[in-house]
Structure 1
Amino acid sequence: MTILWNLIKSFFCYIWFTINFLKKLIFNIIFLLLVIIIGYYIYNIDYNNQINNLNKNKKHILEIDVQYLTDDMINQNNIFLKFFNKILNLSVTNSTFQVAQAIHHAKTDKNISGIVLNLSDCMVEDMNTLSYIGKYLNDFKTSGKPIYAIGDMYNQNQYYLASFANKIILEPHGYVDLHGLSAEHFYFNSLLKKLKIKLNVFKIGDFKSAIEPITRDNMSQNTKIIEKKLINNLWGNYLKTVSNNRKISIQNLLPKHKDLIQKLKESNGNLALYALKNKLVDSLSTKFDFNFDMMKKFGLDLYNQTYNHINIDEYINQNLKQNKKNNIAVITINGILNYGIESHNIINEINQVYLDPAIKGLILKINSPGGSLTAAEYIYNSLISLKKVNKPIVVSMGEVAASGGYFIATAGNYIISDINTITGSIGIFSILPTFNNTLKNFGIYSDGVNTNIGLENSIYKELPLQNKEIIKINIQGGYDQFIHLISNSRHKSIKDVKKLANGMVWLGKDAKKNGLVDSIGDFDSAIEKISELTKIKMKNISLKWFEDDTDFLPLNLLDFFSFQKNNSVLLFNNIFPSLVNYYLQKDLLKNNLLLPKQQINDPRNIYAIYNLNN
């Protein structure tokens, strides 16, 4: 029996030893493969850098092939960023400021003969960003060097950027898609009624449209008037810019329906030929023919078997070196304001500016529709503390700086808006859904005891009258604070501020006319203003960009890790579920990110947000 037991024991020990050996072998092989792959790509990157350095004195075309542009600064020397982008074939994100500075540097660079805008993969949707790059392209053209734009087809944003080129090339089977702007949204009120979900709505601002998707089944007349005016002005600015760039009339750029049909018939329905005949583009050419033409003009790159060119990333890496002795900070507030880690990170960045004696001022870039009122208040208070130590703040508004975004902007010494910035939306709201009737349908009830009868806050019971009264007082107090804050910072009477409030939104030029901002301009205007306020000469300004700690990895890696943090049903307490959507989703979808269950969070459930519906 003992012998049998020893045999069985030996057999299982052998099996266990074999499994352990195989496990270690497999892990070692995987580890070795990873080392080889990483080594290969690092060598590849370094080798390509050496090739570029060898060719540094040759004449090149600067090729700008951007997919996404960010307001943050990108570390071009980050080996991890390069590795993950290359091995996983991820979308490349460039810094708007770095691309603009590269174009500016290329203007006087003897080794740069021109620029090619390769726009087939360009997914930049922020018109303010495109306009900023366009300004530098126009300046580049004054050097006499040509700019070529090429694309398979051009959507509206791609075509806007292409219009700054000397020559626009379109694939023979491509087209230019100009269709205008629209403002549409889904409405869920009837669905919520069918589910017997009761919404307790508390709002100040007749024009506050953010809550309409869950309180109505259509767009209100007030919102239609405001949105129609906004998109008409935005589209008018678009057409004016493109028309001036292409030196064609707006009627030719976007003919009336009858004329369009006639011109399409004349082109036999060929959209590329239509674009050529109507001077939307300058020539029709395949990429192969375009490359061959560029090789004849600018020479052959034997290593890459194409025309002599340098990619924008490598050009930035070689020519734009960051100064470590910074004296002006740049902090960016992007997207929906959330109370918690996001808002604390922004406050921590402001605190670093406060504590750093070398930093003399702050440029605050805001591209946010607002969000949590509490988060906005905390950030605002941190900025006020910064001003108390004589560190001036210049606010540079992006595509949108409305509601909570505008709340924060009022802390600035000076506010600069783009002509197309959407701002204002001065108003706040709170929504508390209750599910007692929904649960009752399924025979589910909630009951228990409470130390403060009438003050319990449960989504499974009717909202008590006492709670409603408290929320109303909080909402009114928050709105009054918002109004007084604007009155003090913009030097306006309470009466005048209320005329501009009530949830109404304004484009940059109207905001300037109404005194909500100080001037129309861009990031360069903000640098000039901070130079004036800090008395630091422009040539001595050195920017310190604050970035998220997670920036060393591409955001698109989240595509590979889009798992839910919890598997529970959607929580409705302290969130406004319908607003999970627009601004955040717009930003995430255009970057191919699939993030689960993002929440707009405020501890008091009070929000100052403009829901951008375009």
Structure 2
Amino acid sequence: MVDAGSVVDLLKDARDRRNAALILELDLTDGIVEGQPADPVSALLSMRRTHLRDVLGGLRRARTDPRVRALVVRIGGHRIGLAMAQELRDAVRAFRDAGKLAVAWAESFGETGRGTVPYYLATAFERIYLQPSGDLALTGVALEEPFFNEALGKIGVTPRFAKRHEYKTAANTFMERAYTPEHKEMSGRLVASTGEQVVAGVAAGRGLAEERVRELIDHAPLLGAEALEAGLVDKLAYRDEVYADVRAAVGDADARLRYVARYNRAQGLAKRLPRQRQDGVALIQGQGPIRLGRSGRGAMPGQGSSMGSDTIATAIRAAVRDDKIKAIVFRVDSPGGSYVASDTIWREIVLARKAGKPVIVSMGNVAASGGYFVAAPATVIVAQPGTLTGSIGVVFGKPVVGDLLGRLGIGLDSVEQGAHARMYAPTRDFTDEEWGRVNSFLDRIYDDFVGKVAEGRDLPRERVDSLARGRVWTGADAHERGLVDELGGLGQALDLARKKAGLAVDAPVRLYPHVSPVDRLRPAESSEDRTAATARLDAWGPLSTVAARVGLPSGGPLMLPGTWEIV
């Protein structure tokens, strides 16, 4: 027999939980997931990690929720890109503008490592706590790039690359021994622009003059006590002391802790009542190198997801056909890759706009080369000041390993039919005729790239060419030059899409393509079937002949070189 008193206690406890004051938490030490990974294996592995959209959605809901009193964010450990840090800073500032307390704490901002970007993120908070044993490695901004030409020559490898044009630096990595003047100019401006953003953000957040911030950067890394004395942190404290201070500040020792992502999902479920499907915005996420076919894992272990042209194109077509979708937001976080795959995606965006649906591109940490190509026809391009973008250019070539094989005593012979049958083989150099074909190929791609950017951004072709030539820009510099329309993050892009489509400010956002686990198992009925867009269940994708023989991945002619992590 059920005890009536127990039932009452349970109901009272449930009511108290529902109405209790909340302190939201966010742990960034394991990083943050940009979007749902394309392939099922990566998606499964990321289920327990924090997703950007949950964080942005949770903080947005919390601004008007009287139960939420404060936000506590643990910073440190995993590196977060500058643009991602700016996305989070924007969300935290909006949270604070709603009258809520926001606190950042860290065991250390870079223990024997770099802490500039993590600390830059922390300066958006009202209070910054540092563990007494921690340090502040606010050491500034650097971009370090390797050059392999001399090493390749020593082992008998001859790099044969062509590029369009002088700022397209992927070839320099293999063909030069140091910076060319153009390469150094471009990299220097990237570092300068990034440094300007960091200094301005720290100065504004801590109430310091920018010149004083530069002085402190030149003296870093700083001990915890030195950081406290300089006004860069508010208190040296351990975790328990941080939380005790926050509870005291909100005036509720019994306030419950809740992770932002869990809070966002719980609030979302609570509002999902049975009702007619509303008009909304489609969110399509494109991450990683761009390739033909379906999305999946990158070409090499550790490379993350890849953006498949079939997956993205099918998602765009599905969003266009859906009468309840009134606008599309395309989130791009990609260094580029295949020209043909990029062109396939470009075409679908053009068709979406012709169908009357606004397409807003939101750029993540990187949206360059092919990543900019796919963004060019958008209605509006939104990027963070720290986004790496542009790189409107093309590079192609191969390492010639014939001498290396000879030094190793490896003989190689061949039979062939067709004058250029071995044109792409890394075991021999291009002939003069083949080299001419390579350059015709690059001229065609560059001409097409510049023309499509000029058309999409409504700029004179000559102006685009002067901004292109393979040059990488920060989002701030790209905005000044008309390559980016607005500065902001994913939330701003979604708001803009709603406004362009004439939707309510809280109109729903739906991920595309949405494919159930059952859909993943069944064969597609046609190329229009949403199952056709599911990610590939491959290991790391097919490696090219060059990669298989000399250990170099082939990303495609529209690929930003290297990792491009400014720290």
Q: 1:403 to 1:438 in 2, by over 3 A?
A: same
* 1:256-271 alignment runs, 5 A limit: 260=219, 271=223
1:105 equivalent in alignment to 2:61? yes
Q: 1:230 to 1:53 in 2, by over 3 A?
A: farther
1:474 equivalent in alignment to 2:441? yes
Please say which of residues 158-167 and 371-380 is displaced more in the overlay: 158-167
1:573 equivalent in alignment to 2:546? yes
Q: Which residue of 2 aligns with 1:71?
A: 34
CA contact (8 A) 2:385 2:476 kept: yes
Unaligned runs of 5+ in 1: 1-49, 265-269, 302-306, 553-562, 581-598
Q: Which residue of 1 aligns with 2:282?
A: 329
CA contact (8 A) 1:483 1:494 kept: yes
Q: Which residue of 1 aligns with 2:408?
A: 442
Q: Which residue of 1 aligns with 2:19?
A: 57
Cα distance in 2, alignment partners of residues 564 and 108 from structure 1? 44
1:543 equivalent in alignment to 2:509? yes
Q: Which residue, 110, 116, 137 being the options, matches 2:72? A: 116
Q: 1:187 to 1:531 in 2, by over 3 A?
A: same
Q: Which residue of 1 aligns with 2:95?
A: 140
Q: 1:246 to 1:576 in 2, by over 3 A?
A: farther
CA contact (8 A) 1:366 1:405 kept: yes
* 1:120-199 alignment runs, 5 A limit: 120-121=76-77, 123-154=78-109, 155-199=115-159
Q: Which residue of 2 aligns with 1:95?
A: 51
The structure with higher relative contact order (CA 8 Å, sep 6+) is 2
Q: 1:448 to 1:335 in 2, by over 3 A?
A: closer
* Superposition deviation, residue 397 in structure 1: 1.8
Q: Which residue, 223, 226, 236 being the options, matches 1:274? A: 226
Letter in 2 for 1:311: Y
Letter in 1 for 2:24: L
Cα distance in 2, alignment partners of residues 333 and 239 from structure 1? 31
Unaligned runs of 5+ in 2: 1-11, 110-114, 296-307, 519-537
CA contact (8 A) 2:86 2:386 kept: no
Deviations 1:166-203 (A, max 9, x none): 22121111121100111112221112112212222121
1:600 equivalent in alignment to 2:554? yes
Letter in 2 for 1:487: A
1:381 equivalent in alignment to 2:381? no
Cα distance in 2, alignment partners of residues 513 and 243 from structure 1? 22
Letter in 2 for 1:200: R
Q: 1:360 to 1:65 in 2, by over 3 A?
A: same
Deviations 1:385-426 (A, max 9, x none): 222322221112222222111111112122223222222211
Question: What SS is found at the alignment partner of 1:444?
Answer: coil
CA contact (8 A) 1:365 1:395 kept: yes
Cα distance in 1, alignment partners of residues 14 and 80 from structure 2? 31
CA contact (8 A) 2:377 2:453 kept: no
CA contact (8 A) 1:337 1:600 kept: no
1:320 equivalent in alignment to 2:268? yes
Deviations 1:293-316 (A, max 9, x none): 455565555xxxxx6322223312
Q: Which residue of 1 aligns with 2:450?
A: 483
Q: 1:221 to 1:91 in 2, by over 3 A?
A: farther
Q: Which residue of 1 aligns with 2:384?
A: 418
Letter in 1 for 2:487: I
Question: What SS is found at the alignment partner of 1:409?
Answer: coil
Q: Which residue of 1 aligns with 2:258?
A: 310
Cα distance in 2, alignment partners of residues 575 and 494 from structure 1? 39
Q: 1:71 to 1:545 in 2, by over 3 A?
A: farther
Q: Which residue of 2 aligns with 1:218?
A: 178
Please identify which structure carries the higher helix content: 1
* Superposition deviation, residue 363 in structure 1: 0.8
Q: Which residue of 2 aligns with 1:283?
A: 235
Cα distance in 1, alignment partners of residues 565 and 89 from structure 2? 25
1:494 equivalent in alignment to 2:461? yes
- State the structure with more CA Rg: 1
TM-score of the aligned structures, taking structure 2 as reference length: 0.80
Q: Which residue of 2 aligns with 1:588?
A: none
Cα distance in 1, alignment partners of residues 513 and 92 from structure 2? 27
Question: What SS is found at the alignment partner of 2:85?
Answer: helix
* Superposition deviation, residue 372 in structure 1: 1.7
Question: What SS is found at the alignment partner of 1:101?
Answer: helix
CA contact (8 A) 2:61 2:264 kept: no
Q: 1:54 to 1:230 in 2, by over 3 A?
A: same
Cα distance in 2, alignment partners of residues 576 and 209 from structure 1? 23
